[in-house]
Amino acid sequence: MDMRLTEEQLEFKKIARDFLEAEVVPHRQDWDRAEALDPVIVPKMGEVGFFGLTLPEEHGGLGGDWITYCIGLEELGRADSSVRGIVSVSAGLVGKTILAHGSQEQRREWLPGIAAGTQVGCFALTEPDNGSDPAHLNTRARRERDGWSINGSKIFITNATIADVALVFARTGTGEGQDGARGISAFLVPTDTPGFERHPLHGKLGLRGQATAELSFNDLRVPADALLGQEGKGFRYAMEALDKGRISVAAGCVGIIQACLDATVEYATSRRQFGKPIASNQLVQDMIAEISVDADAARLLTWRAADLAERGAPFGTAASKAKLFASEAAVKAANLAVQVFGGYGYVDEYPVQKFMRDARVMTLYEGTSQIQKLLIGRAETGISAF
């Protein structure tokens, strides 16, 4: 795709790809099989700057713009979506929320470590009974004389077993009208706090190298200054974070699509049948063309949302469109890639079966495809269907 990038953006793209080709791609198959990645990779990614993108230099970040952030997330998605998720959640969902709503003390305590990759955050919103309906979450925080006591559970929490801090959303309101979004607050909870329990989840279809866990809070006590921002504003903070997070997921999906295209072109031009490369077959080229067009379309939708965010313009609907299209296109691209590879695409000696497994969850988390359609429909009609 011919879109003019700055010299700095092109330089970061090269640095990111060279690093990932050397430090991640050779290991992704082993990490996938082991259902765990080497934790050493996290601070290494911090040294390259993945966690510091768009976080201010005064807080240990690199600064930079949203397009550069998308370039970084695309390269991570192209290499291994399991490592992409670590950055999206820690620097994106958690870091950006602390930056936007945290106190100066909270920013000083957590942002430098997050930006360096020496500390990791997790975003504790989803619950066993409340996935697409977080406004009715059940985890509760009760005010005490010297702080808060939190009880409840969360599930499918990325980074949970490696995180140093959890951004926990809990219900604090108890009065009339406080049983929905208005009664939710956000807390920064160090994961070594007594009462904070982690239960790893194994056997996932994809993102197998990524740490995912269920969390339990049993009379977990935090001081008053653990509250992030204003009491009762937690739901709004979560929705703001997810709008930004959808750009991250979309960018990662562009990376999956690009990885499928790269792998498929390489295989189709080298694999020979009936005395010629299979790329000379019309229907093989048809599948490659579909992946190529979707890569460009997904990238442009993602970059449009990123540009709006960069300019401070409303970007929520654009982010939903980008996330919806890119995630569904990633599933489609991976299926087409497996088809081109044939039987070889079905075994883990080749990467496309991993791309297919990793892509599938992208249509589920940070808002399912169906939720994105409802958000887009509400923006178009002015009528909420949920």
**Residues in a beta bridge with 100:** none
**Catalytic site includes residue 105:** no
Residue holding tokens 């930006």? 115
Q: 93: closest CA among 366, 371, 375?
A: 366
Rounded to whole angstroms, the Cα distance separating 24 from 345 reads 21
Phi, psi of 356, deg, nearest 5: -65, -45
SS (H, E, C) the chain: CCCCCCHHHHHHHHHHHHHHHHHCHHHHHHHHHHCCCCCCHHHHHHHHCHHHECCCHHHCCCECCHHHHHHHHHHHHHHCHHHHHHHHHHHHHHHHHHHHHCCHHHHHHHHHHHHHCCCCEEEECCECCECCCHHHCCCEEEEECCEEEEEEEEEEEECCCCCCEEEEEEECCCCCCCCCHHHEEEEEEECCCCCEEEEECCCCCCCCCCCEEEEEEEEEEEEHHHEECCCCCHHHHHHHHHHHHHHHHHHHHHHHHHHHHHHHHHHHHHCEECCEEHHHCHHHHHHHHHHHHHHHHHHHHHHHHHHHHHCCCCCHHHHHHHHHHHHHHHHHHHHHHHHHHHHHHHCCCCCHHHHHHHHHHHHCCCCCHHHHHHHHHHHHHCCCCC
Q: Determine the length of the chain.
A: 386
Give the distance from CA 263 to its chain's centroid.
23
Options 23, 349, 366, 380, the catalytic residue: 366
Rounded to whole angstroms, the Cα distance separating 386 from 383 reads 9
| Catalytic residue ranges | 366
